[in-house]
Structure 1
Amino acid sequence: MEEKERYNENDCVEAGLSCSIKGKVVILNRESLPPCSQNQLYYCLCGNGAGVNPTGRAVFLVSLRTGEFSLKNRNEVVGVLKPELLPDQAKLQLSQIRPVGALDLQNHEPKYSGYSFLPDGRYAAGVWLCSEQEVLSYVEMQKSYQHRIMICDREDFCVLEMESGKLLHPSQKELDAFRCPQDGGIEMI
């Protein structure tokens, strides 16, 4: 998918203050951008303006062109981009974002690597993930936008794989057992 020159509300699956933008790709209003910037696509990390009917205005975003962090006002956000309109280059940039709340890599040992693939097989470098919760958060943030997601352990063995939003490995039964360890769940190797 090639990037459009200009995105607007017609390119949104949701718009306005009645939708949550946290953990989603959003379109910024072109008028709120510097004149030299063409980038309207950002990933919303968090902020008191990110929820439904927000109590504040601040939203923390990551540019899907440069990877740079930005603090914007919620009123600068047009809405949530339709996943099928996300350009390939933006998908590759999105695949490099670690989940909100991910542990600091200087003080914690990564246990997994997360990869996201385009339909033609292209992908960017893996993202370090330090816990099973980070793995689940990474998958959750990527699954609406990426063709294929793969999580590998430190030995580079695949421990989770999804394609087109469908779980390929492990089985759904094994994944459910992992999510509910009090019921005799499994451990990710």
Structure 2
Amino acid sequence: MERNTLYTEKDCSTTGLGCGIQGKVVVIGQDSPDMQLYFCLCGNGAGANPSGSAVFLVSLRTGEFALKTRSEVIGILKPEILLDSAKLQLSQIRPVGALDLKNHEPKYSGYSFLPDGCYASGVWLCTEQEALDYVEMQKPYQHRIMLCDRDDFCVLEMENGRLLHPSGEEMEALQNPQNGGLTMT
């Protein structure tokens, strides 16, 4: 079901220039509700108390890139009101700073699932850091997130922000610098 009313400040968890919007779903002032939701990638207007006004975004309706000004941003959308269609589009966005797939081989694929099990195709991720960044950017918005290695084995799974696999102890051991740091293979 699509929304037929405009998003306003009431639909935002945070508004104003004091909040950083990079890596968040934002509401843009528009005259059509289906063109208001974007994921903020970066820009000199994306930080808290920004030094500039440019923000680089991805439409959660079309998947197209857009350049807007910070003054067009109403605020950060409350995660619980993000529509399923927008969640599926969001699941297709690679993290900021992800390596170019033309020159790097992916090690992982990231998937995000709706509560009914629906999901879009996986997103290629080239490094462990990209994989973890994908999880962090999806976590506030998605019901379930899964990372798989190149052999399609699950290496990480979360549901409603709770880690299911690997266990907390296994994850801590993976992140321990004495064990060589993070490896998800």
> Could you report, residue by residue, the CA deviation over 1:43-93 in whole angstroms, capped at 9, with x for unpaired residues?
000111011100000000000000000010000000000000100000000
Aligned length: 184
The DSSP-based 3-state class of the residue aligned with 1:19 is coil
CA contact (8 A) 2:128 2:183 kept: no
Write the letter of the residue equivalent to 2:24: K
- TM-score (normalised: structure 2): 0.95
Specify the alignment match of 2:16 in structure 1: 16
Aligned match of 1:121 in 117, 120, 127?
117
Query: What residue ranges of structure 1 are gaps of 5+ in the alignment?
Result: none
| Aligned-partner SS, 1:98 | coil
Measure the CA separation in 2 of the matches of 1:79 and 1:149.
25
The answer to whether 1:183 aligns with 2:167 is no
Structure 1 match to 2:128: 132
Percent identical: 69
In the other structure, the counterpart of 1:48 is: 44
Deviation of the 1:173 alpha carbon: 2.1
Structure 1 residue matching 2:35: 3-state secondary structure: coil
What SS does structure 2 have at the residue aligned with 1:10? helix
Counterpart residue identity of residue 152, structure 1: C
The partner residue of 2:60 within 59, 64, 83 is 64
What do you get for the CA RMSD once the two structures are aligned? 1.5
* Aligned-partner SS, 1:30: coil
Partner of 2:3: 3
2:75 is the alignment partner of 1:92: no
In structure 2, distance between residues paired with 1:21 and 1:37: 20
Provide the TM-score with structure 1 as the length reference.
0.93
AA in 2 matched with 1:5: T
The residue identity in structure 2 corresponding to 1:113 is: S
CA contact (8 A) 1:3 1:86 kept: no
